[in-house]
A = this chain, B = another copy of it.
């Protein structure tokens, strides 16, 4: 049997952090050795003997947290937002000096959502038509969702690379907005409904057939299998990986 993975959770007092504390504690191949909140001394991570760090803190703190981990030879799994191109380039440089350390930064840890986007991109070049419907609770302030926009971009790129023309559409007269928004040529529809959480459907159509890829996110517990997968894999992937799909085996 392999040794336990010794994990420190940063941002442990937040909602995602609290879920991660619970998930790591319950995983039979992991040991939770430290839980830190805002203002706690990072030195506690080393004293506790952690080999891995999960960072679910805030944009203002995440860069210092990850730098501390890397400089001390700890692997890091990062779910905090705010890692733009500049920050990632700097981290890349830092990691060159620590070639044995792995860091995963993932904008989305829901395995089903990451898989659905990857499958959509793969399938999109084989169908004449593709559209996206995303459905969320009615308190959401933006439309379409960030995930739907990213999925549309992936789908559009896949079709462009394969030379697939635009989806056919004979619409001549429409009520304003009937055909949805358009992201890189892909129609994206946004539904807002009380009772829902976060859901997405990619609809692909060809002569006589339809393929539908639907993901339902009911609860933020859905992010934890992705976080655990990250922790189990990060030590074998030195350097910086951006996006959980980099850790998934997507071929057959």
Contacts and interface: CB of A to CB of B under 8 A. Distances in A.
Given A118-B252, A214-B212, A252-B121, A196 B205 contact: yes
B140 A193 contact: no
A220 interface: yes
Interface residues of A, number: 85
B205 A220 contact: no
Most central of A181, A207, A208, A210 by chain B CB within 10 Å? A208
Interface in A151-200: 167-183, 187-197
Given A191-B131, A250-B251, A209 B218 contact: yes
A84 interface: no
Interface string A223-252: 111000100000000000000010011111
Interface of A: 110-113, 115-116, 118-119, 121-123, 125-131, 133, 135, 138-144, 167-183, 187-197, 203-225, 229, 245, 248-252
